[in-house]
Amino acid sequence: MVESSYNELDRIIAETMMLFVESAEYTRNTDVRAAFIDASCTVATLRHRLGNASVRHVVAVVGLTNVGKSTLLNALLGESLAPRRNGPCTAVPIEFMHGETFKVTAHYRSRIARPVWQCEDAQAIHNRLALLADDENHPANGDIRRVVVEAPLSLLANGLIIADTPGFGAAQSADDVSAHELSLKSYLHENVSQVFWVVLAEQGIGKREMQFHKAFFGQVCDDVIVTGSEDWDAQERERFRRRFSVLFHSRIPQFHFVSGLNGMHARKATDLAGLEAAGITLLETRIRELADSTGRFTAIQEALLQLFGELGQWLRDQSKSRSMQAKGYWRPDSWSRWIACSPLNPLKRKMLAEMEGVK
């Protein structure tokens, strides 16, 4: 990534945030005010992602319990590292990052010490994680905040961290559900740059899942991974995509149809065609884009441009339906300052083009 480009994008994002916030205070139209506030929240998230673009970048795999997250991760990583989470387990994320050797580190909530276990291979990692997940027989494990796994895997290069999160809705009692999901929500808010949302093909996307998505990770979710669709043809996959795309009022994610189980079998057999048929190859390509800071940088620019496209169309529709002058939406001095910010930047020109008719 070119440093000047990074700094320029940071400046554009900062000025865009100010434009939305000040225009929200300026406009008398309550609907437009709400839209500007919503847009400013999206820009704030993008700025957070930009701050992590060249350093620690956490991509969390999120979904209901038993949708195949751990199997999918093992297929992607090429090793059986992630333990299944359909039994008693601590409500903590497991972060996988690059390291020269196999190693597990536990981070506790109320203990300063961080135990480290050097492991011989992937199986030893898997066994250690299974022990740490057992908080019925080992109550102290309930105090674990997160677990970090280091492994010499090329997919985890350049500061990329993939986090396996416990499924929301996995706990049994009402109290456990509250504590379990509170931990997950806190992790998503404080640590995660992007989310891969895993859903089961036969279940689709339910109301509760969509509410959780909207409240806690919608602004950092660019990808939906659909598991259990091995027998679907192209038409069935397109039908699923059309059916659930309408749930996303903005930032429509990419849909990936993947079989973690078939991918694991293909890995073991070194079956490249099988990996491609399972959807693992394309998903791995997507992850490798994120492993490169330039790829993360590009994704942020695309998300910002998408926001402007959606907002521009919404404002044009608003003007037509209300027969209002669009220029009344923006605070004049804020708009002038935003125009003067990086006027020759190609992204800025595209953003301005999306506002055609609502300047």
- Structural domain count, the chain: 2
Model pLDDT, residue 141: 64
Domain housing 340: 3-29+299-354
Do 146 and 276 fall into the same domain? yes
User: If you average pLDDT over residues 334-341, what whole number do you get?
Assistant: 92
Do 211 and 310 fall into the same domain? no
Do 112 and 260 fall into the same domain? yes
Do 80 and 171 fall into the same domain? yes
Which of 291, 323, 339 finishes a domain? 291
Q: Is residue 52 part of a domain?
A: no
Model pLDDT, residue 96: 94
Model pLDDT, residue 324: 52
Q: Is residue 43 part of a domain?
A: no
Do 185 and 317 fall into the same domain? no
Report pLDDT digits (tens) over 263-315: 999 988 999 999 999 999 999 888 887 777 777 788 889 889 989 998 998 98
What's the pTM? 0.74
Report pLDDT digits (tens) over 55-73: 678 899 999 888 888 889 9
Which of 239, 271, 291 finishes a domain? 291
Q: Is residue 222 part of a domain?
A: yes
Q: Is residue 38 part of a domain?
A: no
Least confident piece of the model among 8-17, 220-229, 244-253, 328-337:
244-253
Do 213 and 346 fall into the same domain? no
**Contacts for 43 with CB less than 8 Å, ≥ 6 apart:** 13, 16, 17, 20, 304, 307
Q: Is residue 25 part of a domain?
A: yes
Q: Is residue 343 part of a domain?
A: yes
- Residue 70, domain CATH: 3.40.50.300
Please indicate whether residue 52 or residue 111 has the higher confidence score (pLDDT): 111
Short-list 322, 352, 342, 306, CA closest to 10:
342
Do 148 and 262 fall into the same domain? yes
Do 347 and 206 fall into the same domain? no
Do 252 and 339 fall into the same domain? no
Do 267 and 308 fall into the same domain? no
